[in-house]
């Protein structure tokens, strides 16, 4: 495995939580490699709606 600074255009999938950290991670991944898919999903653990 190569160190982070020496990766040459790696194809990747980025999982996003919707927060600032994952947005920064996506931006970094786009500059360092070939992002093929950015994926996010609702797994039901978000804020609850009041009835």
Question: Residues 18, 43: contact at Cβ < 8 Å?
Answer: no
For the stretch 10-51, pLDDT in tens is 678 888 887 888 889 888 888 887 788 888 887 777 666 666
Structural domain boundaries in the chain: 4-39
Q: In the prediction, which pLDDT does 4 show?
A: 57
5-27: b (≥16 Cβ within 10 Å) or e: eeeeeeebebeeeeeeeeeebee
What stretches of the chain adopt beta strand conformation (E)? 10-15, 33-39
SS3 content of the chain, % helix, strand, coil (to 5): 30, 25, 45
Q: Which residue has the higher pLDDT, 7 or 35?
A: 35
Q: In the prediction, which pLDDT does 38 show?
A: 87
């Amino acid at each position: 495995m190569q160190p982070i600074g020496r990766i040459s255009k790696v194809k990747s999938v980025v999982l996003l939580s919707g927060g600032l950290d994952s947005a920064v991670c996506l931006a970094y991944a786009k500059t360092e490699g070939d992002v093929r898919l950015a994926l996010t999903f609702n797994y039901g653990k978000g804020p609850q709606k009041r009835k």
